[in-house]
Structures are given as structure tokens and as C-alpha cells.
Chain A
Amino acid sequence: MEVAKIQARFVMSTPSTQPHNAYPDPQRSGFLSRANPLLIGAGFVVLYVLLAWLARIYMARPFAITPWNPAAGFALALLLVFGIRYWPALGIASLLTSLLLRGIPQPPYTQLLAPLTLTLGYVAMAAILRGPLQFRLAFDRPAEIVKLVGVAAAGTFVMAIAYVAVFRATGRMAEQEFSHIVLRFWIGHLIGIVINTPLVLLLLLYGPNLHELKKIIATWETVFFATITTLALLMIFGLHWADPYKLFYILFLPVIWVATRHGINGAILGTACIQLGLIFTLVNAQFQAGTAVTEFQFMMLALAVAGLFLGMAVTQNRNAVRALNRSESRLRTTVTTAHDSILTLDDAGLIIDANPATAHIFGYEQNTLKKLPVSVILPDLEWQTVAGDLGITRGLRRNNTHFPAEVSVGRTSNNDSGLHIIVIRDVTRRIETTRQLAAQQAELGRASRLAAAGEMAAALAHELHQPLTAIRSYAYAARLQMPENDGLTEKIEREAARAATVVQRLRDFFRGGTSTLEPVETSAFLRNALDPMREEASTQRITLATNAVCEGVTLLIDRIQIETVVHSLVNNAMEALSTTPNGCRQITVSALAQDDGWVQISIVDSGPGIAGNMSERIFEPFATTKATGTGMGLAMSRTMIEAHGGRIWFDTNDNGTTFHFTLPTTLLDEAVT
């Protein structure tokens, strides 16, 4: 359970913004989950003691204080990674070390106090780092270096004073020795932490995936690095031609080089190597004075911290570049994949960049678009003044055709560059679809109104047929009672019958009823059709005239239907004349026999003509300009005329309107037979 938490710490501490594989996932490897807490503790104790024993150089006897203490970094790493509850392991390890290196001192209780001081110090540092400072085990930001070095510097300083004070209290230390021993303790532990804690964290991170670590280590560069480091150490300590202190800076070269090449990981590994090399050299160069080693360790500390910061900067820079590249590539793909045209303009309105869709939409080669002014393809766009959605403007293709373009403009947030991004969408199809949809809906609306009208017509027919039956029967009865009535009752009967027929036709029209053709002589037909309208015409002071009536030509028509058409057209003409001054109100009906066996009837009025916007829809059902009109008159007329195989059309201007329609004659029938 504890182990799972540790893994969680590693995982959580790896920021999600990191590029993939920046750190291996310990959870996936399961390397920590397989470890037993006791095993970890025991392993730690063994390693700690071993390291301390190896590092037993320049010990300030009898206190066993060395200027190099790699075990310190190891101890802090243990508590950071596995938790403070491992403090007993640390306690045991430091007690064992103390026994091993110092034997049993006098008085014996100092033997317990010293390890206790160490253990308390490490626990305190680990607690501060894990708790309030939120130290990230991934060790992936400069801030982590600052936290680690800061806490270690303060912590080890306090520890040094406390630790040395224990021995001093026993009175076994000279007064003048005190500060010197404290300094040695301090630098030994501090550098041990600064160099080795990151190293342990790194090894634990890469432990499950040595392959990753090998990529850094197993190269010729490592050999090269080892060579220069060795040469540098030889130059500093081996040649004796100059003061080693003055030449120490040479060691910066391999550190800078490895940190630049491999980032933070390189810096951690590199400084660890140099530290080892330095200690090895110091020991072998027979530097007898522990003071000199302490001085070199301070320089080594500066070298390590500088190396860590440089490596961290390099790593962060690389990650940033990689993230930028990915983001850039994502954006680039988005732009090239888009179906919309995406342009980049400079401040002068010249196209800097255009995606493939632009070339496709405007019909250019992609590279010929560059350096063209945007006005070449969007002539009406005022792109400088506005940003955001610009609505629809005119897009101009290379072949000089236009299309409706929906345009939006954005400005890059980088103020110094001043680039404009323009997104253009060809909305021809959308507009067309919208228009079709509207037309379909209008059509649907008309159809449903027609259906409703059909229902109404059927109901009306039913209701009217009842009184018409009664009228007809009463008239017939009246004729039986008063045979001498000048044909009045017959007229009543005939009109009732006609009314019934009209109603019937109306109903049949909506039901798609058929018509029955009969031969009718043209002039008689026109006379019959127009006679009922003459009285109304004269009331309105309209001259209703006929000319060229095609006497002798026999129409083959459904008389009632065509009469309805004539009535409808003449009624329209009379209404059109209502605003015409008296004396100018004229309607002329004429019939003209054509060579092909058809008769063309024309109804001319002297009214003001039909408004342009109305003339397109005039034959559509429910299109009306009249307050009281049904909008059915012309629609029905056209249906009826077309049912006869004829056609209906009109001419209109300011001086009046003429409706024409053609009707079949018996000549046509004979021609067929």
C-alpha cells in the first residue's frame, strides 16, 4: 500500500505537460511495487554503511567527520521517495556506521546522540521538502534545485552545529577546532545531498528502464567526457606546475559540456562522476590536510549547483521546443486539412501563407497566391478595420467568377508581428440548400393550404347542394302551378343548376377531377360567358367589348370550366380598372383562330398593369394582391387551361395587362382522326 503511494508520488510529480517518454513510468514497470518494505530498509542499511565506509577519508578523528559524505544524499533520497516512516532504517544505519568508524567513544551515550542528531536532521529536511515545499521527485524544474539546495544547506548547517556540539559537550574538542569541524561536517553532508539525492532519484526513475539511461551513458561521448575529466584532474593536481586552486575552473568545461548535451540527467551523472574523480584524485595526490579538501569541496559544490541549473535549463528548453514543435505540427495539419480557405496576411494586406484549400477554392496554384494582395481574391473585404465574423462577402476566383464567401478575420496576439488570419468558406451550396429548403417549405405550405381548401370545397359543395336541390324543386313546382311565367322558373332552375356545377367544378378541381369536353361555337361561347358580366361592367362604367370572335369555329372544351376562366380573368380585369379614371376603363375580349387548329383568346384591360414582384408568382395558388381574393382564380384558370392542353400567359405594362390563353377546336380533333 505504501509502495503504491510512492509510485503515485512519482507519477503525480511528472507534470502532464511533459513530452511523452520524458520520464519512464515506474508504475508501468512495477519495479517499486515488487519491493518489500523490509527489503528496502535492509538494502538501504547495507548500502548506507558501505558508502560511509568507502567515504572514510580525511576523517576528523575521533568524530569521524569527513568532507565527503555521499551517504547523506542517499539517506535524504530514501526518506523523500519511500517516506519518513523509514527513519528507523536510517537510525540503524547511522548507528552502525558510527560504531564501525568510531568504535565505542566515551562517554558511551554520545554514541547514541550522534546518530540521533543525524536521523532527526534528515527526517526534518525530508518533512519540509515533502510537506510545505511540495518537492517534486521528478526533479524537473529549477525550483526543485532551489528547494533541495536551500533545505539541504540550512538543514545540514543546523545538523553540523548540533552534531559537533554533542562532541564538544563531552569536552573532547578544542575551542579553536569547533568552527573548522562544523564547516567540514556541513560541506560534507551538503555536497553529499546536492550531488547524490538527484542521482538516486534519477536512478530510481530510470531503474525500471535502464535502456533509457543507457542511451545517455553507453556512447562514445561518455568516453570523451571521462577523458577530458581525467585530463582536467591531471592538469589540476598531477602536473604541479600551478596552484590547483587556480586551475579548478577547468572542471567547469566537462560539466558544461555534459549538461548542454544531456540536460539535467547529464548534469546529475556528470557532477557525480567529477565528484568521484575529484575525491579519488585528492586522495591519491596525497593532500594530507583535510582543510584543503574542504576548500575543494566548496568549489565542487558551486560546480555541481551550476551544472544542475544549466542542465535543467537545457532540458526545459528542449521540452519547450519539442512541445512547440508538436503544437506547431498540429496547427499546421489543421490548417492544411481544413476545407475552408485559411490565409495569413501581413500588415500591408499581402498573402504570406495560404493553405491548400485556398488554392482549391479560388482556382490558383498554391505558391502563386503568396505575395498577392488579398483584394485579388476578396475584392470587397475591409480586412484592416474589423476583426471577428465579417459575414458574407464576394469571393473572386481566378477565372473571374464569383461566389458567396463567409469570412472571419483574426489578428495574431503577438503585437510586433501584426499578422492577420482570414478564414474563408465557400457558402454557395449552403445558400442554395437554404433557398431550396425555403422553396420546399413554401411548396409544402401551398400543398397543405390546397388540401385544406379541398376539404372546404367538398364541405361547401355538400352544404350548397341541399338548398340548390330545394331551389330547383321549388322552381319546378312553381312551373307546374304557373305554366305561363315567361320562362322565369326555367331560368331559376338553370341558374341553380349552374351554381351547382360551379360548386362541383370547384370541388373537382381540388380533387383533381376530370372535365368533359363538348363542342361549342366560339362566338356563342363568348357571348354566353360575357353576358352575365355586362351589367356589373356597366355599373362600374367599364366598356366591355368583343372583337374578332371567330364565328363558325367550334371549340372543343369543357364549357363550364372555360367560362369560369373567362369570368375569373374578366373579374380580375374589372378590379384592375378600379383605379383607372372613368372613360378610360376598357376591357376587350378577342378570339383569334390560329393555323394549327387552336384558338387564342385574349382579354385586354387598360388598367395600371401588374407589379413586377407579383408577376412571377401570379399563377401560384394563394398568391393574391386583393384583400378579399382567395388567390385561387388564376391558379385554377391555369390548371383548367392546361387540362385542355392549352397554355395561359400574360403581357403587362403601365398601360394595361393582356391575358392570353389557347383552346382546342374540333379541327384539331379531325386532324387527329
Chain B
Amino acid sequence: MKNQDQCVYIVDDDDAVRDSLGLLLGLKGYRTLPFASADDFLGACAPTWAGCLLLDIRMPGTDGLALQTELQTRKMQLPVIFMTAHGDVPTVRSALKSGAVDYLEKPVDPEAMLIAIDTAFDLDAAQRQKMQRADQSELRLNALTPREREVFDLVIQGQQYREIAAALGISPRTVEVHRARLMEKLGVRSISELIRMSLTQ
């Protein structure tokens, strides 16, 4: 049911909170990794980390909101679930605005937390898959010759062979050849597949 490379990164300065949440999530079959401060987490994290971040807003040193901003700077797409014992509206608003998945008020309701984590995991997985696909198509596009690339750009704009041939100053037959070759290289079987691929780009 759970993706094995996904993990709940718990960042909270309170030992008991970290320990109890870790215990609970562990029993529920989640992998967890606790950090006592935002700086500890930033020191250890890597772009390959998958799962979600269970993040206390108010902590000594770097606080939760600052950590979230730092992650965005580092282009890490790990979804963030905020926890707060304060529940003041402005903090909540800025947390959600900057892209937090959810927001849990302490004392955290375990059921609500589990739901939030699952949501975050799904989001994380989808993001990763999309990224992976984009990476693949990027790789294949790089295999095209410059001429094939030109033909590709015009094809996905919906132009006919004749128009493409006129634009590039080559014969329609040559265009046909280029198209067949680039479709083969990209591993697509139809024009519509080609266009869908270009959209994920």
C-alpha cells in the first residue's frame, strides 16, 4: 500500500512530540525520520528524498516557515504538513499560501494526521512521476538532429507537411522522412501522442 521509498520527515523541537508521532506512524507502517530542528533537517536532506515533511511552525532557530522557503529555494518538492500549537490565523494563512499541503493544530488528531500524510504522499508520488516523465522526454528530444528538432517544433504547432516544407525550404517528401525518423526516436506512434508528449515538456 505504501511506497517503500516514501518517508515522513518529522521536524519538531519537542522530544515527546517527535517520539510519539514517530511511534504512531511506525506502527501504522510509515517510515519516519525525526529531526530536532530545521537546521538539522537542512543539513541532511537530499533532492532524492521522497514522502512528506511534518513540520512544526514555531521552533527555536530556523522556524517552520523559513524551512519551507529554503526548500523552495533548493527546488525540493517535498510536500509540507504544518503543525502548530498556536493556531493564529496569519501564520496559518501564510503557511497555506506558500504551498503547504495541510495544516494540523496541536494537539494533533492522529486520524486527521494520517489522512493528511496520505494526501501528501499521493501528491509527492504524482509530482515525482511527472518529473520522471518530463526527464525522459527531455532525454529523447536531445537525441534529435537540429533539422528533426525544427520539424518537431512545427509539427506540434499543427502545420501540414507542405507548409513545413515551404517554411524550411525543403521538399515535402524530406519532411515526411524527418517526421518518421523523429517519431521513431521519440518512441511515439501517432501525431496526437507526439503532441501530448510535447505538452508534458
Interface residues of A (CB under 8 A from B): 458, 461-463, 465-474, 476-477, 480-481, 493, 496-497, 500, 504
Q: Which single residue of chain B is at the shortest CB-CB distance from A462? A: B85
Q: Is B109's CB within 8 Å of the partner chain A?
A: yes
User: Chain B interface: which size bin?
Assistant: 20 to 34
Q: Is B86 in the interface zone, CB < 8 Å from A?
A: yes
- For A473, give its contact among B24, B58, B86, B87 (CB under 8 Å): B24
Can you sample 15 A-B contacts with CB below 8 Å?
A465-B85, A465-B106, A467-B16, A469-B85, A469-B106, A470-B16, A472-B109, A472-B110, A473-B20, A473-B23, A473-B110, A474-B20, A474-B23, A480-B24, A497-B107
Instruction: Give me 14 other A-B pairs in contact (C-beta within 8 A), A469-B17, A469-B108 excluded.
Output: A466-B17, A468-B106, A470-B17, A472-B20, A472-B110, A473-B20, A473-B21, A473-B24, A474-B24, A476-B24, A480-B24, A481-B27, A493-B110, A497-B109
Q: Mark B11-26, 1 if CB is under 8 A from A, else 0.
A: 0001011011101100
- Tell me the nearest residue of chain A to B20, going by C-beta: A473
B90 to chain A, nearest CB (A): 13
Asked whether any CB of chain A lies closer than 8 Å to the CB of B75, the reply is no
Docked Cα-Cα span, A467 to B17, in Å, equals 7
In the complex, which residues 1-56 of chain B have their Cβ closer than 8 Å to any Cβ of chain A?
14, 16-17, 19-21, 23-24, 27-28
Total cross-chain contacts (CB, 8 A): 67
Which B residues lie within 8 Å of A461 (CB)?
85-86
Q: What is the distance, in angstroms, from A86's C-beta to the closest C-beta of chain B?
A: 98
Is B107 in contact with A477, judged by CB distance below 8 angstroms?
A: no
The distance in angstroms between the C-alpha atoms of A462 and B83, with both chains bound, is 12
Closest to A481 in B: B27
Point out the residues of chain A lying under 8 angstroms from B19, CB to CB: 470
A466 to B12 Cα, complex, angstroms: 10
A354 to chain B, nearest CB (A): 68
> In the assembly, what is the distance between CA of A326 and CA of B113, in Å?
95
Are A500 and B27 within 8 A (Cβ)?
no
> Contact partner of B28 among A472, A480, A504, CB < 8 A?
A480
Whether the pair A466, B108 counts as a contact (CB closer than 8 A) is no
Point out the residues of chain A lying under 8 angstroms from B58, CB to CB. Answer: 462
A458 contacts which chain B residues (CB < 8 A)? 86
User: In the complex, what distance in Å separates the CA atom of A500 from the CA atom of B86?
Assistant: 12
- Residues of A with C-beta under 8 A to B86: 458, 461-462
Contacts of A493 in B (CB 8 A): 110
Contact yes or no, A477 B106, CB < 8 A: no
Q: How far is the CB of A494 from chain B (nearest CB, A)?
A: 11
Which positions 165-196 of chain B face chain A at CB distance < 8 Å? none
For B16, the chain A residues whose CB sits under 8 A away are 466-467, 469-470
Q: Report A-chain residues with C-beta under 8 Å of the C-beta of B17.
A: 466, 469-470, 473
How far does the alpha carbon of A470 sit from the alpha carbon of B14 in the complex, in Å? 9
Distance to closest chain A CB from B19 (angstroms):
7
Neighbouring A residues of B14 by C-beta, 8 Å: 466, 469-470
Query: Complex formed: what's the CA distance from A301 to B59 in Å?
Result: 114
Option from A469, A471, A477, A500 in Cβ contact (under 8 Å) with B23: A477
- A480 to B17 Cα, complex, angstroms: 17
Q: How distant is B34 from chain A, measured CB to nearest CB, in Å?
A: 13
B77-119 Cβ-contact flags toward A at 8 Å (1 or 0): 0000001011100000000000000000011111000000000
| Smallest CB separation, B54 vs chain A (Å) | 11
CB-nearest residue of chain B to A507: B87
Q: Considering the chains assembled together, what is the distance between the CA atoms of A493 and B20 in angstroms? A: 13
Q: B111 CB to closest chain A CB, in angstroms?
A: 8
A497 and B110 CA atoms in complex are apart in Å by 11
Chain B residues with CB under 8 A of A466: 14, 16-17, 85, 106
Q: Give every chain B residue within 8 A of A481 (Cβ-Cβ).
A: 27
Set A463, A469, A477, A497: member contacting B27, Cβ < 8 A:
A477
C-alpha spacing A496/B108, complex, angstroms: 10
**Chain B residues whose CB sits within 8 angstroms of the CB of A497 once the complex forms:** 107, 109
- Minimum CB–CB distance from B84 to chain A (whole Å) comes to 9
Which residues of chain B are near A465, meaning CB under 8 Å? 85, 106-107
How far is A467 from B107 in the complex, measured between Cα atoms in Å?
8
Distance from B31 Cβ to chain A, minimum over Cβ atoms (Å): 16
CA distance A476 to B16 in the complex (A): 14
CB–CB B110/A476 < 8 A? yes
Question: Closest CB of chain B to A50's CB: distance in Å?
Answer: 109
Determine the chain A residues whose CB is within 8 A of the CB of B107 once the complex forms.
465, 468-469, 471-472, 496-497, 500
Measured between beta carbons, the chain B residues less than 8 angstroms from A472 are 20, 107-110
A469 touches B28 (CB 8 A): no
